[in-house]
Amino acid sequence: MPFEFDLHGWFAGGVEVEGLRTVPMAPPSQSTATTEGQPRANWSGVAWVMRPYVAPLPEPEAPAVAAPRVVSVLGFRRRFTPEEKAAIEWAAVDRPEQPEAARMQAAALRATLADQAAAQFIDLEDLATAQGVQILELLGILDPGRALEILSSPVNQSELP
């Protein structure tokens, strides 16, 4: 009969089938008491040794793995209202009569829209994405609070790339 030990080497009992944490030799004591300080058999890697039992520390919980917050390009565009999309498109138009700073701002917006169109997906956690949407709010293209709403809304199945 094989004799099993736990992840910390403490004797866990006899088992029917040999496994990863089993050995063929019997321990000097087959007690499985969990009283702190009481002698209990512990597998050293080569032999059973009687040691005062020490309860193992609880295993830390695995950190929750956050689901990636990516959406398709179309899914990202659908987070904006039709009025917001029209305002973005209008802000991106080059107007020769405008001052150079306004024309550069429109060019930067067109470049961002072109990058989005060429992307395979939009990462809502990406710093550039967040900054781009927040700038639209700062420019008054989006109402106050909309940037946070657009970036933090849960990802729907229909938005996935």
Residue 132: the pLDDT is 93
Q: What is the pLDDT of residues 98-152, one digit of tens each?
A: 999 999 999 999 999 999 999 999 999 999 999 999 999 999 999 999 999 999 9
Distance (Å, rounded) from C-alpha 12 to C-alpha 154?
A: 46
Residue 67: the pLDDT is 77
Greater confidence (140 vs 65) lies with 140
pLDDT, the chain, mean: 94
Matching residue, tokens 């700038």: 135
Q: Residue 63: pLDDT above 90?
A: no
Distance (Å, rounded) from C-alpha 23 to C-alpha 1?
A: 9
Residue type, 30: Q
Distance (Å, rounded) from C-alpha 8 to C-alpha 51?
A: 12
Q: Mean per-residue pLDDT for 69-94?
A: 96
User: What number of residues does the chain have?
Assistant: 161
Residue 127: the pLDDT is 94
Residue 94: the pLDDT is 95
Query: What is the domain partition of the chain in residue ranges?
Result: 3-52, 70-159
- Measured over the CA atoms of residue 158, residue 138, residue 82 and residue 148, the dihedral's sign is positive
Q: Residue 66: pLDDT above 80?
A: no
pTM for the predicted model, two decimal places: 0.59
Residue 65: the pLDDT is 79
